[in-house]
């Protein structure tokens, strides 16, 4: 692993920095819907500038950036303080999954509107009784004589469903087959009355995610991705991309917050307190480990062509470190960090979900133990 940047990578970073400095999304408006619309406009701007699907191949409308350039993109985006594009699930999960498993027609139909934020995507995997044990999904898709499917069941924690046109839906097509084998991966049109979206309110007061109630929802045969009964494998591609994709941006976000806290502690004279200095040192160390581990994951992706289980390690480390940092912020910033409506209180409350979303820490530890370290499987 070579940690120095080649001249063309440094040039890519400079060009991107210049573009981000000149083309920000402007001030964030108040209110969830307005904020979402703002992030959607931001993605349109990124798309027009050729920066929406940086890591997507040129043939699919992307920039064809290398993995290192893509990592630089997420680092620089986080450093600029600009938000992630609105269709982050389409860009990082849906598009790359279609590139691996989709038919030519599906790639032709779906990829461009993902990039331009014309069609937003959500991920309908989790159910009330199927989260970590995701293969236990009960939502049923029944094939009709014309080859289409009728889908009935419930999904939960579906982020961004209220803004989405397409849902990456995993449903059971064969209840007689072994758990992992009877699943199929679909693209479900959210704009039908048989799909009801009910927002759930989070601890932060936002409704980032929703319940989905499906009552005979219709999915045409051409919206099956990767073949009937092959949903488990297709879904794994989505999950691996979920855990690997954001690592670079997230570690820079941590770095920005650690530097901010260090600055506040210095101004308050708290750096003289060994407990504060010790905690800042620990956070600094974790952030550096995270950065280097993210690069190690990148090397593995370059070798195997797809993100591997190492992404689980960075997601686990980041989520725990972010919780540690946001809790520690209350000691440094003071009561403001515990007052609703402030930046630090938002970060503290939002961080609670980090060790659950995208795979809980316990599940990620199992993946790291079994698939990275080669330890025996849990019974
Ligand atoms: C902010 C946020 C956004 C989300 N967005 C989406 C989304 O867009 N789409 C979507 O499909 N889902 C989404 N989720 C759901 C998320 O993927 C699930 O919450 C997660 O997979 C855990 O499932 P669960 O909540 O059913 O908990 P459970 O699986 O019931 O787990 C409960 C507890 O048991 C532990 N546990 C379970 N199994 C094991 C095991 N084998 N070994 C050790 N411990 C175990 C878990 O670690 C956890 O602590 C989101 C969640 C959050 C918090």
Instruction: Using the atom order of ligand 1, give the atom closest to the CA of residue 159.
Output: 8
Please say if the pLDDT value at position 379 is more than 80.
Answer: no
**CA 125 to ligand 1 centroid distance, Å:** 10
pLDDT in tens, 146-174: 999 999 999 999 999 999 999 999 999 99
Direct distance between the N- and C-terminal alpha carbons of the chain, in angstroms, rounded to an integer: 35
296 in Cβ contact with 310 (< 8 Å): yes
Angle between helical axes of 310-333 and 343-351 (0-180°, round to 10): 140
The CATH superfamily of 121-229 is: Butyryl-CoA Dehydrogenase, subunit A, domain 2 (2.40.110.10)
Do 121-229 and 246-372 have matching folds? no
Element (H, E) at 245: helix 231-245
pLDDT value at residue 26: 96
Over residues 129-152, mean pLDDT: 96
pLDDT, residue 68, reads 87
Query: Ligand 1 centre from 358 Cα, in Å?
Result: 7
Single out the residue of 87, 23, 20, 100 nearest to residue 60, CA to CA.
100
127, 208, 242, 347: the catalytic one is 242
Q: Which residues line ligand 1 (CB under 6 A)?
A: 122-126, 131-132, 157-159, 209, 353, 356-357, 359-360, 362-363, 366
pLDDT at position 345 is 95
Question: For 359-369, what is each residue's pLDDT tens digit?
Answer: 899 999 999 99
Distance from residue 334's CA to the centre of ligand 1 (Å) = 32
pLDDT over threshold 80, residue 28? yes
Hey, which residues does 141 pair with through a beta bridge?
151
Closest atom of ligand 1 to CA, residue 356:
53
Question: What atom in ligand 1 is closest to the CA of residue 359?
Answer: 21
Class of domain 246-372: mainly alpha
Q: Which pLDDT score is estimated for 330? A: 92
State the average pLDDT over residues 272-278.
96
Min mean pLDDT across 129-138, 309-318, 327-336 is at 309-318
What are the residue ranges spanned by the domains of the chain? 7-86, 121-229, 246-372
Calculate how far, in angstroms, residue 243's C-alpha sits from the geometric centre of ligand 1: 14
Q: Long-range contact list for 283-287, CB < 8 A, 24+ apart?
A: 283/254, 283/258, 283/321, 283/324, 283/325, 283/328, 284/258, 286/317, 286/321, 286/324, 287/251, 287/254, 287/255, 287/258, 287/321
Q: Which pLDDT does position 5 carry in this prediction?
A: 85
pLDDT for the residue 243: 66
- Position 214 scores a pLDDT of 98
Contacts of 263 by beta carbon, 8 Å cutoff, 6+ apart: none
| 242 is an active site residue | yes
Query: Residue 248: pLDDT above 90?
Result: no
Tens digits of per-residue pLDDT, 193-203? 999 999 999 99
């Amino acid at each position: 692993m070579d940690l120095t940047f080649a001249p063309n990578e440094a040039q890519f970073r400079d060009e991107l920095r210049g573009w981000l400095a000149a083309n920000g999304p402007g001030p964030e408006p108040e209110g969830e819907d307005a904020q979402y619309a703002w992030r959607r406009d931001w993605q349109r701007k990124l798309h027009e500038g050729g920066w929406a699907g940086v890591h997507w191949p040129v043939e699919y409308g992307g920039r064809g950036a290398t993995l290192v350039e893509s990592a630089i993109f997420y680092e620089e985006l986080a450093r600029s303080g600009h938000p992630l594009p609105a269709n982050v699930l389409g860009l990082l999960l849906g598009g790359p999954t279609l590139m691996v498993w989709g038919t030519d027609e599906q790639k032709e139909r779906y990829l461009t509107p993902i990039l331009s934020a014309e069609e937003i995507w959500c991920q309908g995997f989790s159910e009330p009784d199927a989260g970590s044990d995701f293969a236990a999904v009960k939502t049923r898709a029944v094939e009709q004589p014309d080859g289409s499917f009728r889908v009935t069941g419930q999904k939960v924690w579906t982020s961004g469903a209220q803004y989405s046109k397409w849902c990456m839906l995993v449903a059971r097509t064969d209840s007689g087959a072994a758990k992992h084998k009877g699943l199929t991966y679909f693209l479900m049109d959210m704009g039908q009355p048989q799909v009801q979206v009910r927002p759930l309110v989070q601890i932060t007061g936002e409704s980032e995610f929703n319940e989905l109630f499906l009552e005979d929802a219709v999915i045409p045969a051409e919206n099956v991705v990767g073949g009937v009964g092959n949903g488990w494998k297709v879904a794994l591609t989505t999950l691996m991309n979920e855990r690997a994709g954001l690592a670079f941006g997230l570690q820079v976000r941590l770095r920005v917050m650690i530097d901010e806290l260090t600055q506040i502690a210095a101004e308050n004279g708290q750096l003289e307190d060994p407990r504060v200095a010790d905690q800042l040192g620990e956070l600094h160390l974790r952030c550096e480990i995270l950065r280097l581990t993210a690069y190690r994951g990148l090397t593995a992706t370059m070798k195997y062509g797809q993100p591997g289980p190492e992404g689980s390690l960075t997601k686990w480390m980041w989520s725990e470190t972010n919780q540690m940092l946001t809790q520690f912020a209350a000691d440094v910033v003071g009561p403001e960090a515990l007052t609703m409506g402030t930046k630090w209180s938002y970060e503290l409350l939002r961080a609670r979900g980090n060790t659950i979303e995208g795979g809980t820490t316990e599940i990620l530890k199992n993946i790291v133990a079994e698939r990275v370290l080669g330890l025996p499987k849990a019974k």
